[in-house]
Structure 1
Amino acid sequence: MAEPARLEPVEERNYVAEMRRVIDAETARGPYSSPIAAQSIVRKLRAVDPGLLYGWLDQQAEHFVWQAINDRDRSTRSVTRQRARRTAFAEAAESFQVGNGQALTSFLVMPFVIEDGSRKRLADMTADDLLFVAAGYEQTKREAAMHEMFLKALAKKVGDGTVADHFTEQQLAAMWASFTK
């Protein structure tokens, strides 16, 4: 595969800082939809500052590829879990027992991040790997439960108003701290 021609930015710019300002400006007003805001930003930059868009994408390329790998792995796990209703799993396991080696393949190839930060297929995981991944899900569950309690407590006080009608930043920080102790 031939390497594509590389376009070099004409001048040195702090693309990350500039893009952050563009994103902040686009999302500063009221509620927003991330996909719509992204579409608007890209459309504007293609028209008025394609160099910023290119430079920012180029500087962030490794991050975007890393994120794409993470997204793919999350999607693989999600799809596998959705397909794996109890009856489907039981059928696949039974099929596996009678010689269909592919029946459980979708489970066995699910990737997980293990303790050293690498990704390992479920098929290759040890008990220590499994316990490490399970502990991560346990931590996520605890954090989600704290967020749930915090938001329900706010909702109780807010009623028909908004959070800003009833709380200052300092009050919210103190309230959050009481949930995380």
Structure 2
Amino acid sequence: MARPANAANDPERGARILDAALDVIAERGVQGASHRAIATQAGVPLGSLTYHFGGITDILEQAFARLADSIESVHRSGVAAATDREAACHAVADFVMDPVVSGRKRFVLMMQMYAYATQNERVAQVLRDWQRQVYVTLENHFSPDSARAIASVVEGCVMHRHFDAEDQALTRVSVLTAVEALSRP
């Protein structure tokens, strides 16, 4: 649980609430993300949630937008640093194998976000914007068609990393081989 802020005017409180919402969603799913559970996780008074946000839907929408931004920044930083197509392929493979990106918490949050987006247009738009940004980042090194295919394979690889049996787990080499095959002009 996060430590309550001592100051009455806490400029980080909104962000702490969103991070707490993501923690609650990772533990209990969207259906378990109540005002009370989020406030408790954030270590803030219950009234802080309605002061900073327009309701539970607003909290969920902003929390999922925060999640998408954090994942995209990790992806962008690795691929953007690549100096050529080969380095970009390695950056994509590194992204897939990153334990934070494909770890249980991030995976659960991604699945919850996708499911929630089927019923919430604002979160669906967050996903579309995120995908568009991934494509733009990848298109610095790959054709538009390759960028879309690579982005799709990345998401599938993250899913398989979570569910594959240990003896069938994806390796960095297998991910790199797939990305390189899709990246050929």
TM-score by length of 2: 0.29
Structure number with higher helix proportion: 2
Bigger radius of gyration? 1
Instruction: Tell me: higher relative CO, structure 1 or 2? Use CA pairs within 8 A at least 6 residues apart.
Output: 2
TM-score by length of 1: 0.30
